[in-house]
Structure 1
C-alpha cells in the first residue's frame, strides 16, 4: 500500500466511475484498476461493488473513506512542509577540481571567498578532468577547475586562468637534488614516473613533449595514476617525475622539488588551468566565486 493507491481509492469513491476517476488522476483506466486491486488484496476485502452499469462502495469502503481522506490530507501537508524546508535551505556551490588545483588553488580561493561571501557554502569534489566535465553537463557540479581538453564540448564554457609551473620531483639524496634548478637535458636517461595517459592525458603528454621538444626520448620506468602515488614512488627511488608546482604542497618525506626551466612558447600550454561551467547557465554563487578569483588572480598565479 502507498499513498498513490489511497488517492486512487478516493478518486473512484468520489466519481463512482473508473473511467472518470482515471481521467481525474491522469492515468489509464487499467492502471487505476490495478492500483485498486492491489489495495483490496492488501486489505483482503473488497472496497467497491462493480457491475457493468454501476460502481458503489462496499461497507468496508464506506468505513475507511473518511480515514483515507484524512490520510491523503496529511500526506499533502507533509509534502508541502518538505517543499517549504527545501526552499529555505541554503544552496551549496559544488566545485570540482583536479588534484593540483585542489591542493594549490582551492585553499587560497576558498579562504578569500569566505572573507567576502561568508554566506556561500562550498562543496569541493576532487576528480580528474575526464570525470569533471560530464558532471558539469549533468548539473552535478556548478564549476570545475581543470585542464581544457583538445576537443572541447560546445556546451561547456572554458575560461583560461593561467599556466601552472612544472617542477621536478626527485629523491632528496639524488645527485641532482642539490641543484638550484633543472632543465630537460639534465634528466636525459633518468628513469621517469609518468601518469597513465588514459586518465591523465595532459600530465602524461607534458612530460613526453618536454623531452621530444629537446630532441630526447623520455625513459619511462613506471606508470601511476594518482599524483600522491607518483610522489610516493619518487620517495622510494623508483624514478623522477615532472609535476605541477602545487603538488609540492603534499610534502612527502624524502622528496625534493626543483624548478624546471621550460623554454618559452613550447610546452607551457600543456599546463593550462581553466575554469569550466555549463554554457548559457546563470548562477549567482558561481559568479561571486569567479569575481573573487578574478580580483586575486595575479597573486594566486604567482604561487602556481
Structure 2
C-alpha cells in the first residue's frame, strides 16, 4: 500500500464521484480507478459500491476512510513537528548536571529558557562528571554541566558556565569568625572536611598540592561526596571545609563563609555538547546559558 493510494481513496470517498476525485488529484480517471481497485485487492475488502449511477462507501469503506484521515493527520502533524524542530520551536533537550550546579545560576537559566520556550520539553539527569561524559558521547545527553579537571573532552564543545574561587566554610563559634579573610597557611592543624578523592582524583591532588606549597599536609578528618554534605558536616562542628563560593548560597544555620587566600585552583562548572548535535533548539538553549554564565575573579559579596 502506498501513500498516494490512501490520498486517492480519501478523494473518492469524499467526492463519491471518480471524475471529480480525479480532477482533485490531478490525474486521469482510468489510473485513479485502477489504483482504487488495486487498493481493495491489497486489503482484501470491498471499500466502495459502484454502479453506473453512483458510488457509495461500504461499512468497511467508512471505517477505512476514518482511519485514512487519521493517517494523513498524523503525517501533517509529523511534518509540522519537524519544521518547528528545525526552527527550535518544538522538541526536547536532555540536560545533565552535577549536584553543585543547583547552587549556581543554572536553575535561573533553565527557568528563563522554559518561560521563553513553553513547547520545549526538558529532561534532566543529576549525575557526576564521570557518569555524564559517556552519556554525552552516546547521545543520551544533549548538553552536560560538569566539573572538569583532567578529563578527556576531545570532540566536544565547551563553555565555562561558572568560574569562582574557593571560600572557607567554618562552624559557628570558630576562632576564625572575627576574621575578614583567611590564608591557607592559617589552616595548618585545622580539622578539614574534603571531597572524596575518588570523585575527582586530579582535583583532589591539586588541592593537596596547594597545601604542600603552603608548607604542610592538611589535617583531613572526613571525606564526603557532595558539597552539600560538606556544608552540613561543617555545621556539626566537625571541621572547616574548602567549598566553592556559590555554596555560600546555602544559608544553613551554624555555618559562616570566609574569603580564602592562597595558591588554590579555581572552581568551575563547564557546559559540554557535541558539535554535530548542535541543533537550532540546542543553540537557543546555549544562548540563554551564555546570558547567565558567571566568571568571577574574586569572591562575590553575596557569598559572604
Q: TM over 0.5: same fold?
A: yes
CA–CA distance in 1 between the matches of 2:295 and 2:160? 16
Q: Separation in 2 of the partners of 1:149 and 1:109?
A: 24
Change (3 A) 1:107 1:170: same
Alpha carbons of structure 1 residues 111 and 215: separation in structure 2 relative to 1, 3 Å: same
Question: CA contact under 8 A between 1:143 and 1:277: conserved in structure 2?
Answer: yes
Change (3 A) 1:225 1:77: farther
TM-fit CA distance, 1:171: 0.3
User: Is the 2:163–2:296 contact (alpha carbons within 8 Å) kept by the matching residues of 1?
Assistant: no
Does structure 1 retain, via aligned residues, the 8 Å contact 2:164–2:296?
A: no
The residue that corresponds to 2:273 in the other structure is: 277
* C-alpha separation in 1, matches of 2:224 and 2:74: 46
- Please show how residues 11-26 of structure 1 align to structure 2 within 5 Å: none
| Counterpart contact for 1:128–1:200, Cα < 8 Å | no
Counterpart mapping for 1:1-304 below 5 A = 88=81, 90-114=90-114, 116-201=116-201, 204-263=204-263, 267-268=265-266, 271-297=267-293
Deviations 1:63-97 (A, max 9, x none): xx98xx99xxx999999988887785942222222
- Closer, same or farther in 2 for the Cα pair 1:296/1:235, shift >3 Å? closer
Task: Extract unaligned runs of 5+ from structure 2.
Answer: 1-43, 46-59
Q: Structure 1: state its 5+ residue gaps.
A: 1-64
How has the CA–CA distance of structure 1 residues 194 and 80 changed in structure 2, closer, same or farther, with 3 Å as cutoff? farther
| TM-score when normalising by structure 2 | 0.64
Q: CA RMSD in A?
A: 3.6
Give me the whole-angstrom Cα distance separating, in 2, the residues matched to 1:116 and 1:189. 51
Distance 1:128 1:117 in 2: 27
Give the superposition deviation at 1:211: 0.9
Aligned-residue offset at 1:239: 1.1
Tell me the SS of whatever aligns to 2:124. strand
Distance 1:169 1:106 in 2: 22
Task: Report the alpha carbon displacement of residue 251 of structure 1 after superposing the two structures with TM.
Answer: 2.2
Q: Name the SS of the counterpart of 1:274 in structure 2.
A: strand
Deviation of the 1:222 alpha carbon:
0.6
Q: For structure 1, which segment, 123-132 or 110-119, has the greater mean C-alpha deviation from structure 2 after superposition?
A: 110-119
2:172–2:237 CA contact under 8 A, matched in 1: no
Closer, same or farther in 2 for the Cα pair 1:80/1:131, shift >3 Å?
farther
Deviation at 1:134, TM superposition (A): 1.4
Deviations 1:101-129 (A, max 9, x none): 22112123224434654554433332221
Deviation of 1:189 after TM superposition, in Å, equals 0.8
Post-superposition Cα deviations, 1:228-278, rounded to whole Å, max 9, x if no partner, equal 221111111111110111112222221111111234xx633xx23221112
Contact preservation (8 Å) 1:191, 1:240: yes
Contact 2:149 / 2:203 at 8 angstroms: preserved in 1?
A: no
* 1:138-187 CA distance string (max 9 Å, x none): 22211112122414142322233452221111102111122111110111
Structure 1 CA distance, aligned partners of 2:286 and 2:165? 22
1:194 partner SS? strand
For residues 180 and 202 of structure 1, what CA distance do their matches in structure 2 show? 30
Aligned residue for 2:4? none
